[in-house]
């Protein structure tokens, strides 16, 4: 059977599974819609958290970045992994003990201020919309290739699927759907990686294969890749070109941004006890490691195969008639292209003026089975996995947006007398609006998938992280300081990103960046601005009420059930 037939079968089966679970686990109350009733098993929550965490950026784009830029791409790997550890150890148990539905709910109660809650609502919606744009773009990339439709049509199809199970099931439906999506995405990522590793190095484990010799040769794979890239005018694959300052700031922004992402934090409210939040965090880290330790190997394998199939065995290029099948398959999507600059009729890929190829880095993982000439069913399986990754995170983000609007903006703000039924309806209507907005941003993205996601992490780092950390560990932090810090941090970071990415992209070079910090890493500086402003304002404004200080003292010792509640 062909790739498209296999794709229809496997994607159809997985979608039927997701929709079936959504119907079975549909939410009947706000508690089930927001936190799945607080009764999810820690292992299941670990799987759901991993699926929520491993987005289109992790599944589709991270290995693509590593494949194209080599060592420099590892900053995403280190930042996102380190960030999850920071979240699991330093924040999750304390937030769970506090027992609120949402991050704005925590900030509103901890800082005893409706204004603080509203600022947090705005930041949650802003960060989540930026993040979800990358997920919807990832869905479009998958559909455009494997269903052979326009990328914008693919995004609209994805919107329809997410609409069904996110709006119907809420967190309860999303949680159990994400358990299934984790199983699909991790199996889909590992199978082609294992096959490719066996073919190229003889090792079953891709992580070991990446550091092994190429089959039939005494040359190590990474040495071969370094040789290929330098010969073609690229920087050596295993050397970095970014400055140490920028690497540090990007890594830190991704780490602290992770710890401030509302859609991941909310997962720790779905388990019965604080102890279960810790356990599920450990399981999630184990499940996440399956993909994160494999991604660099997938990147290296795909890079070698891509160069060799385009440039041919003699490294002189191949004619259009002899173009590799993967190129022909992807050409119609508009994500790869060829410009015959020298008129010799041969394709050539390089890192200098000889280059004739335009290859979008978001395709590298999805194209990796075709690059390695794996069976069609493996190619289709990877498509199902990519969709699972993008849709699982999109659903979590859309839930954050809908709960921020219905629970924090309406119930806790403008309409405190709403009934449970009215709040649930508002949450579902807000989810519909959020899906439409996410679809628009997916059709008109501000960058490639992982780059867009990196911006959202920077915004989360500059807005939520200081407010949460100070709220837990500094009982004397008052509402004035927190509000001023959040506003200044997110404003500074947004202005920097907008200037260099939209207003004056031509100026986005290390020479023009402040202290050599790229827009992807500016969230770390925004976080510093937030901390400085928060503490400075705190010193010259009113002291925190005694009851709030006692509350902070109590949540610093995460004992007891800490049931999620609404009061």
List alpha helices for 446-555, DSSP H.
449-473, 479-498, 522-539, 546-555
d(CA 311, CA 513): 36
Using CA atoms, how far apart are residues 129 and 494, in angstroms rounded to an integer?
Answer: 13
348 belongs to a structural domain: no
Query: What total of structural domains would you count in the chain?
Result: 1
Report yes or no on 295 lying in a domain: yes
- The pLDDT of residue 564 is 47
What's the confidence (pLDDT) of residue 266? 73
Hey, what are 112's tokens?
Answer: 């005893």
**241 found inside a domain:** yes
Q: Specify the pLDDT at position 478.
A: 93
CA atoms of 385 and 294, how far apart (whole Å): 15
- Domain containing residue 149: CATH number: 1.20.1730.10
Lowest mean pLDDT among 19-33, 485-499, 527-541: 19-33
Q: Are 362 and 64 in contact (CB under 8 A)?
A: yes
pLDDT at 118: 86
- Return all residues near 289 (Cβ < 8 A) that are at least 6 apart: 81
Determine how many CB atoms are found less than 10 A away from the CB of residue 41: 16
Give 412's DSSP letter: I
Averaged pLDDT for residues 83-111:
77
The answer to whether residue 307 sits within a structural domain is no
Q: Which tokens hold the place of 243?
A: 């400055």
Residue 50 lies in a domain: yes
**DSSP string of 379-392, one letter each residue:** HHHHHHHHHHHHHH
Asked whether residue 363 is domain-assigned, the answer is no
Rounded to whole angstroms, what are the CA distances from 237 to 13, 111, 193, 232, 349? 39, 48, 19, 11, 15
Is residue 284 assigned to a domain? yes
Which tokens go with 110?
A: 């901890």
Q: Is residue 104 part of a domain?
A: yes
pLDDT, the chain, mean = 81
pTM for this model (two decimals): 0.80
Q: How far apart are CA 250 and CA 464, in angstroms?
A: 17
Phi, psi of 346 (to 5 degrees): -115, 140
Phi/psi of residue 210, nearest 5 degrees: -60, -30
Token pair of 64 as six digits? 């693509």
pLDDT-derived band at 161, boundaries 50, 70, 90: confident
> Quick check: 171 and 32 in contact, CB under 8 A?
yes
Q: Which DSSP state fits 235?
A: P
Confidence bin at 567 (pLDDT 50/70/90): very low
In the structure, what pLDDT confidence band is assigned to residue 196 with cuts at 50, 70 and 90? very high
User: pLDDT, tens digit, for every residue of 61-76?
Assistant: 788 888 888 888 888 8
pLDDT tens, position by position, 413-457? 677 777 777 877 887 788 788 888 878 877 776 555 555 666 778
> What range does the domain containing 421 cover?
3-302+374-555
């Amino acid at each position: 059977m062909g790739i498209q037939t296999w794709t229809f079968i496997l994607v159809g089966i997985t979608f039927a599974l997701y929709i079936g679970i959504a119907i079975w686990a549909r939410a009947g109350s706000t508690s089930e819609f927001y936190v799945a009733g607080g009764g999810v098993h820690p292992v299941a929550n670990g799987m759901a958290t991993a699926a929520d965490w491993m987005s289109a950026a992790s599944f589709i784009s991270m290995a693509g970045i590593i494949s194209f830029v080599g060592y420099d791409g590892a900053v995403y790997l280190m930042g996102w992994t380190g960030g999850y550890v920071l979240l699991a150890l330093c924040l999750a148990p304390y937030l769970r003990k506090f027992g609120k539905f949402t991050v704005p709910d925590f900030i509103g109660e901890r800082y005893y201020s409706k204004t603080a809650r509203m600022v947090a609502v705005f930041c949650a919606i802003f960060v989540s919309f930026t993040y979800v744009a990358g997920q919807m773009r990832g869905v479009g990339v998958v559909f455009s290739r494997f269903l052979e439709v326009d990328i914008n049509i693919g995004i609209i199809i994805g919107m329809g699927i997410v609409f069904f199970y996110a709006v119907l099931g809420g967190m309860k439906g999303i949680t159990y759907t994400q358990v299934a999506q984790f199983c699909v995405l991790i199996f889909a990522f590992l199978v082609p990686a294992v096959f490719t590793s066996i073919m190229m190095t003889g090792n079953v484990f891709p992580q070991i294969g990446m550091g092994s010799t190429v089959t039939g040769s005494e040359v190590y794979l990474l040495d071969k890749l370094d040789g290929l890239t330098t010969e073609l005018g690229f920087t050596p694959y295993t050397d970095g070109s970014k400055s140490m300052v920028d690497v540090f700031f990007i890594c830190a922004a991704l780490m602290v941004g992770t710890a401030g992402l509302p859609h991941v934090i909310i997962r720790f409210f779905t388990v019965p006890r604080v102890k279960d939040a810790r356990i599920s965090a450990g399981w999630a880290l184990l499940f996440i490691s399956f993909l994160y330790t494999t991604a660099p190997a997938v990147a290296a394998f795909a890079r070698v195969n891509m160069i060799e199939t385009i440039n041919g065995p003699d490294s002189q290029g191949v004619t259009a008639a002899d173009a590799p099948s993967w190129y022909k398959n992807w050409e119609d999507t508009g994500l790869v292209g060829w410009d015959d600059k020298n008129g010799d009729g041969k394709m050539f890929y390089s890192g200098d003026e000889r280059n004739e190829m335009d290859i979008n880095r978001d395709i590298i993982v999805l194209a990796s089975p075709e690059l390695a000439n794996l069976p069609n069913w493996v190619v289709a399986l990877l498509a199902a996995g990519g969709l699972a990754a993008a849709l699982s995170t999109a659903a979590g983000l859309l839930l954050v947006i809908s709960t921020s609007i219905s629970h924090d903006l309406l119930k806790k703000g403008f309409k405190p007398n709403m009934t449970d039924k009215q709040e649930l309806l508002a949450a579902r209507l807000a989810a519909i609006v959020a899906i439409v907005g996410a679809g628009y941003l997916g059709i008109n993205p501000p960058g490639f998938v992982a780059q867009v996601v990196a911006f959202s992490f920077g915004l989360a780092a500059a807005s939520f992280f200081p407010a949460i950390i100070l709220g837990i560990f500094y009982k004397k932090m008052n509402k004035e300081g927190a509000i001023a810090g959040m506003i200044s941090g997110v404003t500074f970071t947004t202005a920097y990103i907008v200037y260099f990415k939209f207003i004056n992209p031509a100026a986005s070079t290390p020479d023009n960046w402040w202290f050599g910090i790229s827009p992807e890493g500016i969230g770390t500086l925004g976080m510093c601005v937030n901390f400085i402003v928060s503490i400075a304002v705190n010193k010259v404004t009113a002291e925190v009420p005694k009851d709030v200080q006692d509350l902070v003292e109590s949540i610093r010792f995460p004992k007891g059930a800490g049931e999620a509640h609404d009061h």
